[in-house]
Each structure stands twice: as structure tokens, then as C-alpha cells.
Amino acid sequence: ELFYLPQEQTPDYHGERLSIYDIHCTDTSGRKFIVEMQKHWQWNFKERTLYYISLAISRQAKKGKWNFHLLPVYCVSIADFYLSTKEERKTIQNGDYLHPVELVNTKTKTIFYQKLKIAFVELPNFHKKPHELTDRLDKWIYIIKNMVKLTEVPAEFSEETLLQLFKMAEYAKLTPKERIKYEGDLKRDWDHQSI
């Protein structure tokens, strides 16, 4: 179960900048989840992601005596532009859109710290068609990349959560006038059902 946390992270000291997460949640165990989405190229997207993660870590500190026990922080950073340089893209396989990042011991190639995980998603590298989607992650990435272009729900999207997402997107696309009419129709339906 997830609980939404405030998106605005007020500065600890006067003069520091305000930070705003796109999505900021915690679960019943206290693990933190951050989602960042960026439509247009931003030169400091990786740095901004690391800054936001560092806030989620440092804000776990307790006043007074503290044992430095940190809870896990997970971040998904979705970019609708290339994060890698042209040179780096030459070595990346076509379709390699997911870049998992962890603290790794470079000598032993083992995970150094288990409680920090970042997934950078490069939407321009995602090329799958609906019939090629193999798992839930593929479907979510497909939706994120193509939602504005879709005119109908692809047959491959039969899961209730995904269907709800499409309904929410339809509602979000309504003009203010259409939204008022829709909400009025919905209220009349509810009133009729309660009679």
C-alpha cells in the first residue's frame, strides 16, 4: 500500500531552493518512492534526480541520538529525450530504454548498497509495438510514451489498472465545458441509481 507525500520539499535553511517531486510516496515499511518525468531536454536531469534522491535520504535523519538506519529510496526518472550522448548511443543496443543505476563496487562488480535504486527511462529508445509488449513494464512505458497519440485502447491492455488509466486520460482531455457536462451526467446517473 502506498501513501502520497507532499510534492513540495521546503528548504531546511533560508536561501536554499524549493524542490518539487512529480510523485513522492511511501509505503507501510517507510520506503520512499520518487517519480520524475521530463518532457523536454534538460541538461541537468541526471543531477536533479540525484539531488532529489539525496533529499529523500538526508530527510530521514532524526534529531538527537540517531543510529543512521536509512530506509530504502527508489526513484524512476523518465525522460522524453536522450540521456546519453551521441557517442554513448553508439554502444547502446537499439531499444535499450531502461538504465538501472545502483551503487556498485567497481572492483568486485557487486552491489555496494542495497537501499538505493534508480531507474532512468529513455523514451526515445523504446520502439515496441503493442503486439511486442511482453510484461507490465513494457505496457506502462508504451502508455507513457504514446498516450497522447492513442485514439483507442489497444486490445493488449485488458488489465483493470491500465483500463482505469485510459479512463483517467479521457477525462483529463476534456475541455472545461465537456468536463462540466460529463460531471453533470455522472451526477444524474448517481442520483438515478440511488432512487
The model's pLDDT over 135-187, given as tens digits with 9 standing for 90+, comes to: 889 988 998 888 778 777 777 777 777 777 777 777 777 788 888 887 787 77
- Report the predicted TM-score, pTM, of the whole model to 2 decimal places: 0.73
- Does a structural domain hold residue 174? no
Q: Indicate whether 83 belongs to any domain.
A: yes
189: in domain: no
Give tens-digit pLDDT for 11-23: 555 555 545 557 7
Domain range for 29? 2-127
Rounded to a whole number of angstroms, the CA Rg of the chain reads 21
Residue 137 maps to a domain:
no
Q: How many CB atoms lie within 10 A of CB 56?
A: 24
Q: Tell me, yes or no, whether 158 lies in a domain.
A: no
* Domain assignment of residue 188, yes or no: no
Tell me, yes or no, whether 90 lies in a domain.
yes
**Residue 132 included in any domain:** no
* Distance, CA of 141 to CA of 194 (rounded, Å): 39
Torsional sign, CA 130, 132, 133, 135: positive
How many distinct structural domains can be found in the chain? 1
Q: How far apart are CA 84 and CA 97, in angstroms?
A: 11
pLDDT of residue 120: 93
Task: Give residue-wise pLDDT tens across range 39-91.
Answer: 888 888 899 899 888 888 888 787 778 778 888 999 999 999 988 777 877 77
- pLDDT value of position 6: 55
As a whole number of angstroms, the longest Cα–Cα distance in the chain is: 71
Reference 148, options 126, 127, 172, 132; nearest CA is 172
Q: Label residue 24 exposed, middle or buried (CB < 10 Å: 0-12, 13-18, 19+).
A: buried
